[in-house]
Structure formats: C-alpha cells, structure tokens
Structure 1
C-alpha cells in the first residue's frame, strides 16, 4: 500500500508539472489525482518541491531506461536501433514538448536545486547517446569520431526538433528534422 501511495504521488506530480509547469502545478490537484491526503504526502516528502524533484528525476530516468537500455543491450545494429527509437513518435507528446526542456526553461534560472537536477538529467541523456555511439564504434559498425561532441549535437538536434513541433503544432516538423539527423548519423556507418 505504501509503495502504491508513493508511486501515485510520483506519477500525479510528474503529470501535473508536465502539463502546467512547476510553478503552475497545484498541490491540491496532485493529491486529488493521486487519491492521497496531504498527511500521506508528508510521510514520503518534506514538501511540494521535494516531491517535484523526486518525481522529475524518477520519471525521466524511467523514460531513459525504456528508450535506451534495450539498444545498449543489443549485440549489433546500434545505429539502426537508435534511429528507429528517435523516429518513433508514439511516446512523445508534441503538444507539451520535452519535459526536460520545459523544466530547464522554467526553473533552472530561479532555483538551484532544479538547475542541478536538470543538468544531471541532461548529462545522462547525452551519456546514453554517447554510450550507444561508443558501442557502435567498438563493434566496428561506425567510424571513429568524437562521440562526446556527436552526442551533444544529436541531443541538441532532438530537443530542437521537439521544440519546433511544439511551437508549430505540427509533428511533421519533428519528423523532417529527424530524417535529416538520421541521414547524418548513418554517414558515420562503416561500409
């Protein structure tokens, strides 16, 4: 029961922040959607901010695991699997945008705890991409290159594509950018 209560709080908090931002998130709505009383929240978290930070960290890392761990576990075909994952739009919400970028833009300049957490999350995002590229090089599927810089470029391009689709309201903007990015990534493939 305790585990479910905490999970419900985490899920509800993340959803509320993703929809309305941290500053617009209502604790009343979070608790109502989690079907939890305020006292139960205090059993797990000191306050709304701590609950928000924990929920952001856990939910975003959960998304990373879902998106990248299966690629890293492969024996080969890393670039193709990565490209397939970034072309897959089923787990992206282009109306809301990227939760990482949204929180960075809203909170990084006004709260040090959010800034530190979002830097950590963004570095992990880039490291996941770098790990995939490094595996592709190790398995001789990809030409040697500076995978740190390439991972930064890829992460920045993906984030920009998500923002473009959010701004225009047109998912095709994302797909067009990802098509060009995919061609660029494939140019590193060994023939």
Structure 2
C-alpha cells in the first residue's frame, strides 16, 4: 500500500473513532507509519486529507449498498439484503457519525460528500421502491420518496440507539420494524 493510501486509511479510521478535532496530523502519521514530509507531499494539510478520507468512506459505503441493491430478487428482498447485511453496529455508520461532528458540518467542503452519500442512498432506495411498485411487488399507495427517507432515518436512528444502549439489539429491532412496515406493503 502506498504512503498516500496508508494516510487516507489511517485518517478514515481516526475520523470514525475520534472525529475531526480528535484526529491530529501526528496521530494520522503515527497510524500510517508516515512522516510529516510524506503527509504534506501528498496532501496540503489535514482538511485535504480528511476530504480524501471522507470521499473514500462514502465511495465504499455506496459500493457496499449497491452490491445488495443490484442483486437478485424483488425490491423488498434487495432492500432487506442491504438492511440485514453484517455491520459493526456499535461503531456506528462511518458517514452518519460525521453528521454529529460540528467541524465537518460547519465546513461545506467536508460536508459535501456526506450530503451526497445520503442523497444517493435515499435516491437509490426510492428507485428500488418505485420499481417494486411498478412491477406490482409493492402496493401502489406506497410513496417511494417518503419511504426511502424513512428507511434511511430508521437505519441511522438504529445506530444511535444501539450506541446509546451499548447493545446492537436496538439497531436490529429498528431494522426489523421498518422491514415489517415494508412487508405490509408487499403484494402477494
């Protein structure tokens, strides 16, 4: 792995663990096994490196979701595959946690990939729900856009509840709950 890749990966991990303020250039360099000169050779500073790390995290999140969304099955089966996939619930969502970081939210450049990722996720879920409705898999009364927003809100809220309880159970209950609501709109 190249030095720039190690720096990006280290920054991603530290942002997820500590947030932006808690991620110092020195901590990034130590975790990456890179010197200050290497860091500033590849990146103009911490904000530039953080942006690269956030973009990488967003790309991975979208790719992981798309694997489930593009898979076989009905719209509900593909959404279920996404919601039920294995994840480290107690660490929280690596993108969702960034919305709680005041330094990232206050910086439009750092916030942009976060906003774009949630916009993409809501849009992709809405597409799947609309396809399911068009194919007769889901009830015609289901609103794809509002339902997609609900699914994302439940997922992110599930992470928060799990972290607050120090247990994955609230997350799993939230996912099962939203899947139960979606199933009620499924047509036989």
Whether these two folds match at TM > 0.5 is: yes
Label 1:128 to 1:170 Cα distance change in 2 as closer, same or farther (>3 A).
Answer: same
Label 1:134 to 1:40 Cα distance change in 2 as closer, same or farther (>3 A).
Answer: farther
Question: Is structure 2 residue 11 aligned with structure 1 residue 13?
Answer: yes
Q: Residue deviations 1:111-169, cap 9 Å, x none?
A: 23233332222212212322322332343322233211111011001111110000111
Alpha-carbon distance between aligned partners in 2 of 1:164 and 1:120, rounded to the nearest angstrom: 24
Return 5+ residue gaps in structure 1 as ranges: none
Question: Is structure 2 residue 83 aligned with structure 1 residue 83?
Answer: no
- The corresponding residue for 2:24 is 26
Alpha-carbon distance, 1:11 to partner: 0.9
- The corresponding residue for 2:130 is 134
- The corresponding residue for 1:189 is 186
Alpha-carbon distance between aligned partners in 2 of 1:131 and 1:104, rounded to the nearest angstrom: 24
Runs of 4+ off more than 4 Å: none
RMSD: 1.9
Return 5+ residue gaps in structure 2 as ranges: none
TM-score (norm 2): 0.88
- The corresponding residue for 2:97 is 102
DSSP-derived class of the 1:46 partner = coil
8 Å Cα contact 2:69/2:79 also seen in 1: no
Label 1:16 to 1:81 Cα distance change in 2 as closer, same or farther (>3 A).
Answer: same
Alpha-carbon distance between aligned partners in 2 of 1:24 and 1:149, rounded to the nearest angstrom: 36
8 Å Cα contact 1:21/1:106 also seen in 2: yes
TM-score (norm 1): 0.87
Equivalent pairs counted in the alignment come to 186
Alpha-carbon distance between aligned partners in 2 of 1:23 and 1:173, rounded to the nearest angstrom: 29
DSSP-derived class of the 2:185 partner = coil
Question: Is structure 2 residue 147 aligned with structure 1 residue 150?
Answer: yes
